[in-house]
Amino acid sequence: MTARIIDGLSVAAEKRAQCRSLTTALRERHGVVPGLAVVMVGEDPASAVYVRKKIQACADVGIASRKHLFPANASQEAVISQIAEFNADPTVHGILVQLPLPRHFDVKAVLEAIDREKDVDGFHLYNVGGLVIGDTVFPPCTPYGVMLLLDHVGVEISGRNAVVVGASNIVGKPMALMLMQREATVSVCHAKTRDLAQFTILADILVVAAGCPDLIVGPMVKSGAVVVDVGINRLADGRLVGDCHFDSVAKRASMMTPVPGGVGPMTVTMLLVNTINSAQRALTRGLRAQMACTDSSAA
């Protein structure tokens, strides 16, 4: 068996074309241009690359973006003050704080300073909590993208055994909750899991997001499983690889995402989707407010 490759680049391109149509409609029909504000603290090279990709993606689909760069020694108060300005700006529909932040920051406090109606990264406590009851406004972008990939290739989720390797707040935990919402039976493994293979070998759907190259090898994978590799690791020779040993896992899996070109493009794409959704929600709130004022005047 050789795994069918799940091409995240092509799925992302298709979704971005839909985003482009939506932004055009918002602009031409209502004069609304979706806006994304990106806050970055310091000059971490990897973060700079990610931010540049996000801004380029915004331009590609018609989202207006702006970047506010703080020095690494900036105070938390200054950053939160800037977030407050973006919260109050009606032309900003999404606010993204690029992680990681310098060590002197309280990440939770910074993220919770973002208006929940503009939390397009899906990291605010309101949105994370909403995942538990299946009613989040903005799903976290990476697991949201994984779910879209699974749906795109027709993977049946209900009733399947799903294993998530990695328990981060950004990917692992929300990924597990999203799979549970779709009625999968979910196990979550992490750094302290004993005998990881005894869990992964049972997975019909295996999502790996541990940040450890070659953590998953062929014998750890059930024959015919669908494997989603979220990991992005740069080796000493400069190559980008995932958390799975691609060649050996591809011989066991029925479908598998590559690294690069799998989940990565979807993460940025779902950020665009959430930003456009936020703009649409803001427009709806504005129209309802106008109707309420009209009704009040008529009375």
The set of catalytic residues is 54, 98, 121
Residue 295, CB half-sphere, CA atoms under 13 Å: how many? 6
Distance CA 122, CA 186 (A): 21
CA distances 279 to 5, 21, 53, Å, are: 34, 14, 21
Amino acid sitting at position 150: L
Grouping H, G, I as helix, E, B as strand and the rest as coil, residue 42 is coil
Structure tokens of 107? 């990440």
CA distance 42 to 29: 39
Task: List, in order, residues 6 or more apart from 298 with CB less than 8 Å away.
Answer: none
Contacts of residue 192, defined as CB under 8 A and 6 or more positions apart, other chains included, come to none
